[in-house]
Homo-oligomer: A and B are copies of this chain.
């Protein structure tokens, strides 16, 4: 995560929210007034997104001083303070909502990921995200997954090959699809194939992919699939997996479990800003 990513996130959010100006703050708070905001966890959470705090306030006023009291990935309890922001009161208030929005969103993903990772800690399995993310902010949502202890599946369509049913149909079979992918994509590219049942799996294994995505299989089928693939290819379970079903999947022995839920449906966590006398 580079500095300009956080600056672009902060700038986009600020321009959208402030528009022609913060009518309330500009009207009610005198320019010279100073103050302090404490950003506080209102429930237990794993924090993610703290670099947005300085990015927001640098854009608003270089006179604001930001102290980050913890680092991304820290588990916090209700009432713990994440950061303290001091300086011109106008900037503090104008940037407050935008800052909290980012923290609540990314910490929500990190907190949910951490819970899933902890739930499967007894097995040697990676918890992965998917490409089911919000437009333009995938780097952040995938970062929050890493902060929560998960690992990232491919970032985009140019990062790895993932051959699905439709690609197979179009290519005239699994072997041909994999051969085409190998020929076109360059030697550093990972080639994975999605299979829906054991027959497809057997067919795929003959073609030597780097990995297989075992899609929407019940635990028994999954276990059999893992047994057949073991030692030959990397295995990933995917398809409608939720936090409550993840342990059943993990115990089948798959190498990785991917959950779209981590990024498209994890609820925000509650983080607030308390005004402190300057």
A residues neighboring B (CB under 8 Å) = 1-4, 9, 11-30, 33, 35, 59-61, 89, 93-94, 97-98, 100-102, 104-105, 108, 126, 128, 131-139, 142, 151-171, 177, 180-181, 183-190, 192, 210-211, 234, 236, 240, 255-256, 260, 264-265, 267-268, 270, 275
User: Can you spell out 22 A-B residue pairs with CB atoms less than 8 angstroms apart?
Assistant: A1-B21, A18-B157, A18-B158, A19-B156, A20-B155, A23-B158, A23-B161, A23-B184, A23-B185, A24-B161, A24-B162, A24-B181, A25-B167, A28-B168, A35-B166, A89-B170, A93-B166, A94-B157, A102-B135, A126-B187, A159-B188, A169-B275
So how many copies of this chain end up in the complex? 6
- In this complex, what residue of B is CB-closest to A181? B27
Are A28 and B180 within 8 A (Cβ)? yes
Q: Which of A2, A24, A61, A164 counts the most chain B CB atoms within 10 A?
A: A24
Find chain B residues with CB under 8 A from A158 CB. 18-23, 155, 159
Query: Which of B105, B159, B210, B211 is within 8 Å of A264, CB to CB?
Result: B105
Contact A33 B189 (CB under 8 A): no
A51 CB to closest chain B CB, in angstroms?
13
Most B Cβ at <10 Å: residue of A156, A163, A190: A156
Q: Which residue of B lies closest to A93 (CB)?
A: B166
Give bound CA distance, A166 to B94, whole Å. 11
Q: Which residues of B contact A186 (CB under 8 A)?
A: 128, 151-154
A139 to chain B minimum Cβ distance, whole angstroms, is 5
Query: In whole angstroms, what is the CA distance A230 to B12 when docked?
Result: 39
- Residues A154 and B188 in contact, CB atoms below 8 Å apart: yes
Most buried by B among A98, A128, A169, A255: A169
In the complex, the chain B residue whose C-beta lies closest to that of A33 is: B170
Minimum CB–CB distance from A135 to chain B (whole Å) comes to: 4
Q: How far is the CB of A17 from chain B (nearest CB, A)?
A: 5
- Inside 8 A of A183's CB, which chain B residues have their CB? 27
Residues of B within 8 A of A155 (CB): 19-20, 158
**Which residues from chain B contact A240 at a C-beta distance below 8 Å?**
270
* Complex CA–CA separation, A35 to B165 (angstroms): 13
Query: Across the interface, which residues of B come within 8 angstroms of A134, CB to CB?
Result: 101, 105, 134, 137
Please name the residue on chain B nearest to A58 by beta carbon.
B3
**Distance from A243 Cβ to chain B, minimum over Cβ atoms (Å):** 12
Q: Which of B152, B177, B188 contacts A192 (CB 8 A)?
A: B188
Tell which of B17, B30, B101, B177 touches A28, judged by Cβ atoms closer than 8 Å. Answer: B177
